[in-house]
Amino acid sequence: MNLPEVFPDRATSLRPPSVDRILAWPVLSRLSAIHGRSLVLDSVRAGLEQWREVDAPFDATAFTEGVEQRVLAMVAPSIRPVYNLTGTVLHTNLGRAPLPREAIEAMVAVAAGATNLEFDLDKGKRGDRDDHVEAWVCRHTGAEAATVVNNNAAAVLLTLNSLALRREVVVSRGELIEIGGAFRLPDIMARAGCKLREVGTTNRTHPGDFGEAVSSKTAALMKAYTSNYRIEGFTAEVEEPALADIAREYGLPLVVDLGSGSLIDMTALGLPREPTVRETLEKGADVVTFSGDKLLGGPQAGIIAGRADLIRRIRKNPLKRALRCDKQTLAALEAVLRLYSNPDSVAERVPALRLLTRPESAIHQTAGDIAGPLALWVGADWEVAVTPAKSQIGSGSLPLDLLASAAVRLTPLTGNKRQRGRQLKALSARLRRLPVPVVGRISEDALLLDCRCLEDSAPFIAQLDVAESEP
Ligand SMILES: *Cc1c(COP(=O)(O)O)cnc(C)c1O
């Protein structure tokens, strides 16, 4: 680099030149042209502040490098891909379901330009954004009608607000659920403007409890799927057919929050039983709500399916406008729903289902593939072994339903318990600093990298090679 050309000011001096002169240096003016003057200016000011704190001559080369690094850090994407080796397939914090190629292509196809999102191309007039997915939902669930919103929490909120504003909704005490994050049924109900009428006890609720609670103030009966925990022992819950009988008797709708809401029989794939949307409707639910990015394996969305007259009321609610999905989400959801029309290939083509049903032998093979390169990368202070592991479905599915899997287990060879704990944390942090961060889980004095969700080990190994060795 020809220094005088790059730094018209002297390369080192006792004091820095003015901010304007620094910004005019070719390296920095090029940086401004790419990322904007304001970011570079902030970075120059931060650099000058740092320089003032140390008692040293001003070094233009080091200063420029510092400015450049800070700018690049500021413009680096915050949201980016990671390797989910936690063993939890539908990990809410890691973005839940990975999308099928077909869904990604559909999103890209509509993202850049205008689409017929709310435009009926046959009639040449205004259409409804639900039109793109409603027929598919109805086909796969047997529902008369369906509408789609931002997520299942929004689906529950909108349904309750539409059907039970300022009135009572009867729910069993055993189903007043909290799902990770901030979804608590009693809170959602309050925000929806409904009054919660709890019946029964935590462990036992009988049909008669519902019947006795119904009054002129009642607007709906509700059942919520308590899929993320299980009450065992002396228990009783009221199933849909009995609830539906009571709802019919009083002319009330039965709303069921399914949560995961699978469209196919999970046991046919060797997975734990989950009620399907179709069977829930057949058992007498009038409206069912479920997520798009749980077992369905699609984009974040909340699907509301059921009786046409109730869906019409829900769709007419002004809140629907506040909770609706965008064109990319609808394009992705439509593509995923299309994949369900072939039950023979859906488990292969929807990644969430493919990962959940991945054979243990294949996972074991992947763990074996990455163990060697990992051993080189972590160094001689670690024991690296392939070990059987248990993965989970995640996202509100029963944590007890564990799937046989395989992992690479990294165990520190030296140090007392406290030091080993520190080494595990440091290694986790080092894995998170890789170009594509790797997220595992610490369990029993070891770091486990569950390989269920790692289908292609080549890029994983490649980034271990390029990554710099331990700082
Ligand atoms: C997951 C879940 C929700 C919340 O769904 P989101 O799509 O995360 O908003 C609500 N109810 C039940 C029963 C759930 O399992």
Going from the C-alpha of 196 to that of each of 51, 166, 362, the distances in angstroms are 61, 10, 48
Ligand 1: does its nearest atom lie under 6 Å from the Cβ of 299? no
Its sign, for the CA torsion 144, 148, 153, 157, is negative
Q: Which protein residue's CA is at the shortest distance from atom 13 of ligand 1?
A: 259
Q: What is the pLDDT of residues 443-456, one digit of tens each?
A: 989 999 999 999 99
Q: What is the pLDDT of residues 237-247, one digit of tens each?
A: 888 999 999 99
Ligand 1: does its nearest atom lie under 6 Å from the Cβ of 329? no
339 CA from centroid of ligand 1 (Å):
23
Does domain 83-91+354-466 fall under CATH 3.90.1150.180? My reply is: yes
Q: Which protein residue's CA is at the shortest distance from atom 6 of ligand 1?
A: 152
- CB contact at 8 A, 194 and 169: yes
Ligand 1: does its nearest atom lie under 6 Å from the Cβ of 153? yes
Position in ligand 1 atom list of the atom nearest CA 156: 10
171 CA from centroid of ligand 1 (Å):
16
Q: What integer pLDDT is reported at residue 2 of this predicted model?
A: 43
Residue bearing tokens 């902030």: 42
Q: What integer pLDDT is reported at residue 4 of this predicted model?
A: 44
Q: Which protein residue's CA is at the shortest distance from atom 2 of ligand 1?
A: 259
Q: Where exactly are the structural domains of the chain?
A: 3-75, 83-91+354-466, 101-349
Q: What integer pLDDT is reported at residue 320 of this predicted model?
A: 98
Position in ligand 1 atom list of the atom nearest CA 293: 7
d(CA 432, CA 74): 18
Q: CATH for 101-349?
A: 3.40.640.10
- CB contact at 8 A, 223 and 160: no
291 CA from centroid of ligand 1 (Å):
6
Position in ligand 1 atom list of the atom nearest CA 226: 13
- CB contact at 8 A, 470 and 423: no
278 CA from centroid of ligand 1 (Å):
18
152 CA from centroid of ligand 1 (Å):
5
290 CA from centroid of ligand 1 (Å):
7
SS3 track for 108-169: HHHHCCCCCCCEECCCCEECCCCHHHHHHHHHHHCCCEEEEECCHHHHHHHHHHHHHCCCEE
Spell out the per-residue pLDDT of the chain, length 471, in tens: 444 455 656 667 778 999 999 999 999 999 999 999 999 999 999 999 999 998 889 999 999 999 999 999 999 999 999 999 999 999 999 999 999 999 999 999 999 999 999 999 999 999 999 999 999 999 999 999 999 999 999 999 999 999 999 999 999 988 887 766 667 889 999 999 999 999 987 778 888 888 999 999 999 999 998 765 566 677 778 889 999 999 999 999 999 999 988 999 999 999 988 999 999 999 999 999 999 999 999 999 999 999 999 999 999 999 999 999 999 999 999 999 999 999 999 999 999 999 999 999 999 999 999 999 999 999 999 999 999 999 999 887 665 668 999 999 999 999 999 999 999 999 999 999 999 999 999 998 999 999 999 999 999 999 998 655 544
d(CA 177, CA 190): 14
Ligand 1: does its nearest atom lie under 6 Å from the Cβ of 179? yes
